Amino acid sequence: MIYLDTTFNYRSSNPNIKNNFSSIESLLQQIEMYPPQTHFLLPDIVSGFEDVWCRINDRFGDSCVFLFGSGDVKRRFDSLKTGANEKSVEELNYKPNYSFWPFVKKINGQTHQFWNGAGVKYESGNVEPTYYFHLHKGPPGCVFIRYYINVDDFSFDYICSPKTQQQLIQENAIISAIPKGDQDKDVVFFDRISKNRTDLSSASVSVGDHFEVIRTHNGNQFSRQYVRNSDGVYLPKTIRLIYSRHSSCEETIKFVMMFNGNVKDVYPITESVKTWKKLGFSVARYYGKLCRAGKGNGTFAYDSEMFERFGYCCIDSDEPVKICLNWPVKVPFEHYFSDVLNADDSS
């Protein structure tokens, strides 16, 4: 029996999800495009996003500083300082691509780096960091780094990527300067009608100035703020990081496949009556042909329980599982699994 995190099944479709590692690498490359002394805000501090913080620290090292935005974040790292030694914390470094312990030591050594809502208290000697990263809360004018998942590659590139001035002109974008007092907003307005705005595409502007750019996508107008760098590139005021704390449908199927048919049953630990009655999630449909019970026309514990409580699943178990390709792949899902998912039960 495999107990499987099936959080993905809350959606009405099964999109593939961009790999977290490559997403963070794209984020790091984008951060490097921003002017020096830019302040970034990571407002989401729930457990699971520490991977992102560690990778940022690995890339920028002493040229970046992390500042606490609340006591909750500080207490989280204080608990590691007082309740664990270096060896025990280093055991948490289960991923080879970054080291968790140097990040913990850096955070716990920054006794003067705390954002209290009024200003940054920072003591660093003679060298000012290139970038500031605020956890939970930060000063006005920060560039937001927000996590994003339910988006396809075209929309992400169009809406969320840095743009050259020429690209914006080709898209018939309206570029308007933002007064200094309004540069702390994190805005996305759909169906917004632009009025009385000045096109500044040919105007002389300064590095670090903030702009509101209005464009049209899928028939909807939206407004987003940008920061202009020394290369004339407009960088989004809100960086969208494709990052998931749970596996996609495709990834869970790949995981079960790794057992080469030696799995008797799969039990989902994230489910509801909605996933059964309205979205058609059943173990037989998603993982049946990968399990011994499915090949022998047996029953699955989860499906039996849900049938007794709520009746038949809204989608028959023989209905193929479809993967929505939000991101390009080299090998289509159906082709990759065709020898297993399309096999007869008797085979």
* pLDDT single digits (tens) 242-279: 888 888 888 899 899 999 888 999 999 877 889 999 99
Cβ atoms of 191 and 220 within 8 Å: the answer is: yes
* pLDDT single digits (tens) 164-206: 878 877 777 777 766 655 555 444 333 333 333 334 443 444 5
Residue 182 gets which letter from DSSP? G
pTM of structure: 0.74
Residues in CB range of 152: below 8 A, 6 or more apart? 15, 326, 327
Cβ atoms of 45 and 72 within 8 Å: the answer is: yes
CA gap 227, 44 in Å, rounded? 22
CA gap 298, 286 in Å, rounded? 15
pLDDT tens, per residue, the chain with 347 residues? 899 999 988 887 888 788 888 889 999 999 999 988 888 999 888 888 888 998 998 899 888 888 887 777 777 777 766 555 555 555 554 444 456 777 777 776 654 455 544 445 545 444 678 898 988 888 877 899 988 887 777 777 777 789 887 887 777 777 776 665 555 544 433 333 333 333 444 344 454 567 777 766 666 666 777 888 888 888 888 888 888 888 888 889 989 999 988 899 999 987 788 999 999 999 999 999 888 866 656 689 999 999 999 999 999 988 988 888 777 665 555 544 554 444 444 33
Cβ atoms of 222 and 205 within 8 Å: the answer is: no
CA gap 249, 268 in Å, rounded? 12
Q: How far is CA 311 from CA 29, 301, 305, 306, in A?
A: 51, 14, 9, 7
CA gap 18, 267 in Å, rounded? 25
- The chain-wide mean pLDDT, for the chain, equals 75
Q: Which of 238, 254, 248 is nearest to 325 (CA)?
A: 248
Residues in CB range of 54: below 8 A, 6 or more apart? 98, 99, 100, 103
H-assigned helices in 194-235: none
